[in-house]
A and B are shown apart, each in its own frame.
Chain A
Amino acid sequence: MANKLYPDAKAALDGLLFDGMTIMSGGFGLCGIPEKLIAALRDAGVKGLTVISNNAGVDGFGLGQLLETRQIAKMISSYVGENKEFERQYLAGELQLEFNPQGTLAERIRAGGAGIPGFYTKTGVGTLVAEGKEHKDFATASGTETYILETGLVADVSIVKAWKADPYGNLIFRKTSRNFNPMMATAGKVTVVEVEELVPTGTFDPDHIHTPGVFVQRLFVGRDYEKRIEQRTVRQREPA
């Protein structure tokens, strides 16, 4: 079998990086982000990046680290509200930003990975998002409705966080840290995955694999995950 295993994030990215490249980065907020690979991108110093990610991290963590070092030239995201450095660079004209509705972003990535160059959606019809896009009417169960054309997205490299993998690159995600990771795994020319645990081949029930190994080219086990919580929210126990 082809070896997909690498010792760490730096080794797993070796030979893949170049200035001006497009990177997809998994996660929702700070949940399920490839924290080791983002740190390795920062250390590699690659510049002029277009980063496709639902969010842009927070100051000093996640993609916020690549903003501090000015490595990102453009973000394609649905929501970027948690990051002061992002706001500063954007308002200063140093950073380009393309907003996509969250479901449109997810589907553009799914389509790109599935070899579908475009699709029609009614999300965003009649809004700024629809400006300059092809409009087309379709007959539906509730009558004729207008849809807009959205294009598929692919990346030079996708960086993905999963919970567990086997040596063939079969992946299992955990709870809501799955989010954008499975689609991004399909849409990278090269997909690099970090996991918390590597299990021997044959451990997974084949029916329970979320992402089949064909989508994964490189793989390593990350250590000491920080897994920051953005909004720690708890309830009080009822008094006994």
Chain B
Amino acid sequence: MWTRDQQAARAAKELQDGFYVNLGIGMPTLVANFIPEGVDVTLQSENGMLGMGPFPFAGEEDPDLINAGKQTITELDRTSYFSSADSFAMIRGGHIDLSILGAMEVADNGDIANWMIPGKMVKGMGGAMDLVAGVKKIIVLMEHNAKDGSAKFKTACILPLTGKGVVDMVISELAVLARPAKGAPFRLIELAPGIDLDMLKARTEGHFEA
């Protein structure tokens, strides 16, 4: 089984030199710590920045410089700033290579649900619907099962969708599932150490090719 850091490191292996990448809030943020040596990626923040740098040192925080999680960050030599309309032109227009985000449910047809639980206070979808609709490749980084033990990779999402048929790869603490194209079935790519196919199947509801 992979730890959260190992899951993030596994996701970082999907980064390619020259990629423009948007990382979601939570576990996906950890991926920035594991960018492989020799691979140069530019991180996009949907509030209007390309070339996101690390967190500032104490005393150097700038309230005019935050990421989409509203955290203070820094700029790099390559950084550019732009409006929210330009930011989502990049996202919706297919100019961003990869988005890594969390999810509550993913279906084996690529549907994703990560913004709303009916009956609970809904905070909003933020940029998630635009990201899954427009970014070239979508990787979901999530725990394999919900707190009640139910499978999060399902035959169909129960929760309201964020996007339909959009997910390309799922990385959980147990395995990597991926498909070569939208519309194709998911396939098992890799098992975490100590996990075998039967264990994975016992904890998975959605269909995948072994």
Residues of A within 8 A of B (CB): 28-32, 54, 77-82, 87, 90-91, 99, 101-107, 109-110, 121-129, 163, 173-183, 227-237
Question: Are A127 and B129 interface neighbours, CB within 8 A?
Answer: yes
Contact B72 A233 (CB under 8 A): yes
Judge whether B130 and A90 touch: CB under 8 Å: no
Q: Which of B100-152 contact A (CB under 8 A)?
A: 111, 116, 121-130, 133-134
Stretch at the interface among B12-20, B60-68, B170-178, B188-196: B60-68
Which of A104, A106, A173, A183 has the largest count of B CB atoms less than 10 A from its CB?
A106
Contacts of A231 in B (CB 8 A): 66, 69-72
Chain A contacts for B75, CB-based, 8 A: 175
Is the Cβ of A29 less than 8 Å from the Cβ of B160? no
Assuming A107-B88, A231-B70, A235-B57, is B123 touching A81 (CB within 8 A)? yes
Is there a chain A Cβ closer than 8 Å to B42's Cβ?
no
User: What secondary structure prevails in chain B residues at the interface with A?
Assistant: loop
Q: Which residues of A contact B65 (CB under 8 A)?
A: 175-176
User: Is B48 close to A, CB under 8 A?
Assistant: yes
Q: From A108, which residue of chain B is reached at the shortest CB distance?
A: B85
Instruction: Choose one: B54, B66, B129, B161; the contact of A123 (CB below 8 Å).
Output: B129
Identify which of B70, B92, B161, B163 contacts A29 (C-beta below 8 A).
B70
Q: Which residues of A have CB within 8 Å of B55?
A: 233-235
Indicate if the CB atoms of A127 and B163 lie closer than 8 Å.
yes
Residue contact B48 to A178, C-beta cutoff 8 Å = yes
Q: A175-B62, A182-B83 are in contact. Are A124 and B133 (CB under 8 A)?
A: yes
Residues of B with C-beta under 8 A to A87 = 121
B6 within 8 A of A: no
Residue from the list B47, B83, B116, B123 in contact with A31, Cβ < 8 A: B47
A102-B46, A176-B67, A235-B55 known; 5 new pairs, CB 8 Å cut-off, are A29-B47, A82-B70, A99-B122, A102-B125, A229-B72
